[in-house]
């Protein structure tokens, strides 16, 4: 869930030559995606991913390439017919100020719109970047409880300092989310777990 973008990503500049191409990921992209994401995971910035996880969820991912080099990645993960999450968003360290993060998020937003989602959310350390992309800060309680399943394996779960942001794509469908928000007992876990919700930021 943790974004590989950092504060300097907010200072994005026009994309330079050679041009960057954003497309849906394929199985051949798994190794470079793992290298990029797990490089940030080693620094505690993102959650680590495995080859199995990426193989299982590769259809969520979009990749950005400059010539033959992977320079960014992001995923659109569905939580309900109404909501999806922008996740696993990472840009190669030397490319952070080149507009690549913006290109990836724009592609994910367009994809979400083709599926008629009501809103997209993300957890991030750089709300300023997402504000530029039309997202607004919200209370965590506004988000699907199922989204917190991934938080359970995060080492920062009990002291989470990420900020929740949402971009509403359809006000009508976003309103449906509030009508259908499940109770905490409806969370689907493989086995019983004790849930301690992260402190909501005020």
Per residue in 22-51, pLDDT (tens digit) is 999 999 999 999 999 999 989 888 888 999
Domain assignment present for 37:
yes
The domain in which residue 75 lies consists of 7-171
Residue 177 forms part of a structural domain:
no
In a domain? residue 200 = no
**Is residue 194 assigned to a domain?**
no
Q: What is the mean pLDDT of residues 139-164?
A: 62
CA 12 and chain centroid, separation = 18
Residue 71, number of CB atoms within 10 A of its CB: 25
Q: Is residue 183 part of a domain?
A: no
Separation between Cα atoms, residue 190 and residue 154, nearest integer Å: 17
CATH code of 101's domain: 3.40.630.30
What's the domain count of the chain? 1
Residues 23/59, Cβ–Cβ less than 8 Å: no
Per the model's pLDDT, the better-predicted residue between 14 and 72 turns out to be 72
CB 128 within 8 A of CB 10: yes
């Amino acid at each position: 869930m943790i974004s590989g973008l950092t504060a300097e990503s907010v200072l994005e500049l026009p994309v330079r030559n050679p041009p960057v191409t954003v497309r849906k990921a394929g199985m051949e992209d798994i190794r470079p995606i793992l290298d990029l994401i797990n490089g940030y995971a080693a620094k505690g910035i993102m959650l680590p991913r495995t080859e199995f996880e990426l193989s299982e969820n590769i259809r969520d991912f979009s990749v950005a390439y400059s010539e033959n080099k992977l320079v960014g990645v992001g995923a659109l993960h569905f939580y309900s017919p109404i909501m999806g999450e922008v996740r696993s968003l990472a840009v190669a360290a030397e490319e952070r100020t080149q507009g690549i993060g913006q290109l990836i998020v724009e592609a994910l937003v367009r994809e979400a719109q083709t599926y008629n989602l009501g809103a997209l959310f993300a957890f991030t350390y750089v709300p300023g970047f997402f504000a530029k992309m039309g997202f607004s800060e919200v209370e965590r309680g506004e988000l699907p409880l199922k989204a917190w399943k991934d938080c359970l394996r995060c080492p920062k779960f009990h002291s989470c300092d990420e900020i929740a942001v949402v971009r509403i794509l359809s006000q009508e469908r976003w309103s449906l989310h509030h009508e259908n928000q499940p109770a905490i007992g409806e969370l689907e876990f493989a086995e019983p777990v004790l849930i301690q919700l992260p402190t909501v930021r005020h």
